[in-house]
Chains A and B, each alone.
Chain A
Amino acid sequence: MTMHATETDAIRKTVTVPLPVEKAFNLFTAGIDTWWPYESHSIGGEKTESAVFDVEAKRLYEREADGSEHDWADIVAWEPPNRFVLNWRVNPTRPETELEVRFAADGDATRVELEHRGWEKPEERKSYDEGWEVVLGKLVDAT
């Protein structure tokens, strides 16, 4: 569900860091344990030991000391060292929002652009989906 996010509603953040693109990408992903503020920004809080970008399983999750895991996101695009896209779960029982992080060379540095989108109102999404169901239903009826 990427096509009908309201662009004006996306969260956008940019930061430029003094590392080449590949190093910046690797620090952000494989090196996440060295910098992500787990204590305040994870589900397990102080119990969270690490976060894992499992590219094979297309999954990003946090792991606690006792081995329990909590999903953060599905990995929907993985293009090192330039970008990745996640379906970020704010509420596991609701549709995901989409998070894209891009890494672009800026001289010797890297500009990191983060965009969190997919903020259309759930009721709009619902009517959109229902609209398609009606259309598809008619197609099925017609065959």
Chain B
Amino acid sequence: MDALGDGTRRLILERLRGGPRPVGELAAELPVSRPAVSQHLRVLKEAGLVTERRNGTRRLYRVDTDGLAEVRDYLESFWTDVLAAFEAAAEAEAEKEDE
């Protein structure tokens, strides 16, 4: 199972980096339906990337940093993306200066 191979799941993880969130709030901000968000959260939970906690009647989801190997994988691809974007910008900047 490739929990991180899906763009929406990565967006969900990014949202949760700011703190625990309920499924409804996540769905409101993402271009997918609430059942779809629930389904993605289930996959992330099974992969050890997200935990669920009941808070009264609400269920809050958060990044599970106890699932270290999985969180490392997530950040491994996170930094790969970020540095690729930085490299592209630096190359554009260097070209601009050459002109």
Which positions in A face B, CB cutoff 8 Å? 9, 11, 13, 15, 17-19, 23-24, 27-28, 31, 34-37, 40-45, 47, 70-72, 89-95, 112, 114, 116, 119, 121-122
A–B pairs, 11, beta carbons within 8 Å = A18-B90, A19-B94, A24-B90, A36-B85, A40-B11, A40-B14, A41-B81, A45-B11, A45-B15, A90-B65, A92-B17
Q: Which residues of A contact B68 (CB under 8 A)?
A: 119, 121-122
B1: Cβ under 8 A from any A Cβ: no
What 1/0 mask marks residues of chain B from 54 to 92 whose CB sits below 8 Å from any chain A CB? 000000001111101001100110111111111111110
Min distance, Cβ A95 to any Cβ of chain B, angstroms:
8
* Number of chain B interface residues as a range: 35 or more
One of A9, A40, A93, A122 near B62 (C-beta < 8 A):
A93
Per the bound structure, the CA–CA distance linking A89 and B91 in Å amounts to 29
Q: Which residues of B contact A112 (CB under 8 A)?
A: 83, 86
Q: Which residues of B contact A18 (CB under 8 A)?
A: 90-91, 94
B5: Cβ under 8 A from any A Cβ: no
Min distance, Cβ A129 to any Cβ of chain B, angstroms:
16
Contact, CB under 8 Å: B65 / A122: yes
Contact, CB under 8 Å: A90 / B87: no
